[in-house]
């Protein structure tokens, strides 16, 4: 029983990170109907911002950690907006496939520029937050795991409030529903899309820091696998759906952890993706997605 609870806890802390990254994929998809493949590399840049800043602030302090987290979020938000402005906006009217291929190009650009600027050698992420372990009976949880779950939960609630309770959130939903109609009623689409990219990238930045805190070895290609998993999580939950992305991330993280702790750990990704296929067979729009008939 205690092993089950421990695995559940491990799975939730891994899933929370997937969920944070998945939110970025889902938000951009919701507004622009395309997959921003560069998202996983914004996640990597977030971790590297943390790496360089972490050397400037004192280690093992709460305020130092928060400064690093906030700076990475702001840095990634700016990066996300710049990417949107330079790479995606000129293609606004073009076919989705063109934008998709551009996204893959931006992703590769970030990965290999990262290898040039940061070097390909894995770096050790500094311990910016104070860390300690708490045990409840045979259950052990580290403060970093708690931090991941708490920060992820807070950010998701904040995101939900922004999307449903603010003016810009209403505008985002309007653009998502019908960009032309939104423009007609006075929404500035460029500003809204830019904001969406900023918000999604900030979450990726936070995800990067939290990931690096738990697994303190970072390199320019670190975003590839978590990015792929998060993308799957977003599809699993129903792409374009915010609570769906969170649910998909948590589910994927938990399944992966349970498979990893069993005899079949070699097949962990295969099993996780097989579950995805089965779910999509029965619910083609994902767990929480609504299936809509394409209007002709």
Which residues are near another protein by CB under 8 A? 2-3, 6-7, 10-11, 14, 115, 119-122, 124, 127, 133, 135, 140, 142, 144, 211, 214-217, 219, 225, 256-262, 265-266
What whole-number distance in Å separates Cα of residue 31 and Cα of residue 162? 15
Distances (CA, A) of 263 to 5, 142, 152, 267, 269: 18, 25, 30, 9, 14
Tokens 């603010």 correspond to what residue?
166
Strands 139-142, 123-124: parallel, antiparallel or unpaired by DSSP?
unpaired
Residue 166 or 262: which CB sits closer to another protein? 262
Residue 58 or 119: which CB sits closer to another protein? 119
Residue 132 or 292: which CB sits closer to another protein? 132
Tokens 């939290």 correspond to what residue?
210
Residue 98 or 115: which CB sits closer to another protein? 115
Residue 89 C-beta: closest distance to another protein, Å: 34
Strands 139-142, 217-218: parallel, antiparallel or unpaired by DSSP?
unpaired
Residue 88 C-beta: closest distance to another protein, Å: 30
Residue 131 C-beta: closest distance to another protein, Å: 8
Residue 25 C-beta: closest distance to another protein, Å: 20
Residue 117 C-beta: closest distance to another protein, Å: 13
Residue 171 or 204: which CB sits closer to another protein? 204
Angle value at C-alpha 206, between 204 and 211, nearest 5 degrees: 90
Q: Is residue 100 a contact partner of residue 35, using CB atoms and an 8 Å limit? A: yes
């Amino acid at each position: 029983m205690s092993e089950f609870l421990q695995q559940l806890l491990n799975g939730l802390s891994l899933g929370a990170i997937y969920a944070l990254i998945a939110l970025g994929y889902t938000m951009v998809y919701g507004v622009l109907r395309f997959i921003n493949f560069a998202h996983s590399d914004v996640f990597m840049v977030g971790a590297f911002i943390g790496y360089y800043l972490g050397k400037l602030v004192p280690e093992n302090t709460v305020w130092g950690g928060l400064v690093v987290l906030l700076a990475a979020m702001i840095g990634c938000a700016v990066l996300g907006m710049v990417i949107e402005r330079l790479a995606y906006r000129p293609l606004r009217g073009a076919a989705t496939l063109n934008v998709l291929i551009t996204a893959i190009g931006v992703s590769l650009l970030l990965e290999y520029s990262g290898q040039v600027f940061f070097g390909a050698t894995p770096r050790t992420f500094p311990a910016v937050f104070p860390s300690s372990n708490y045990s409840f009976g045979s259950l052990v949880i580290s403060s970093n795991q708690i931090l991941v779950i708490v920060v992820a939960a807070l950010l998701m609630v904040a995101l939900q409030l922004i999307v449903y309770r603010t003016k810009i959130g209403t505008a985002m939903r309007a653009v998502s529903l019908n960009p032309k109609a939104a423009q007609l009623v006075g929404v500035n689409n460029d500003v809204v899309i830019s904001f969406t990219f900023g918000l999604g990238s900030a979450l990726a930045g936070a995800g990067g820091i939290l990931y690096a805190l738990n697994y303190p070895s970072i390199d320019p290609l670190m975003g590839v696998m978590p990015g792929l998993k998060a993308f799957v999580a977003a599809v699993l939950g129903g792409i374009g759906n915010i609570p769906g992305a969170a649910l998909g991330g948590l589910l994927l993280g938990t399944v992966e952890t349970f498979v990893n702790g069993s005899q079949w750990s070699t097949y962990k990704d295969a099993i996780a993706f097989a579950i995805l296929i089965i779910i999509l067979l029965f619910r083609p729009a994902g767990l929480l997605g609504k299936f809509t008939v394409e209007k002709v």
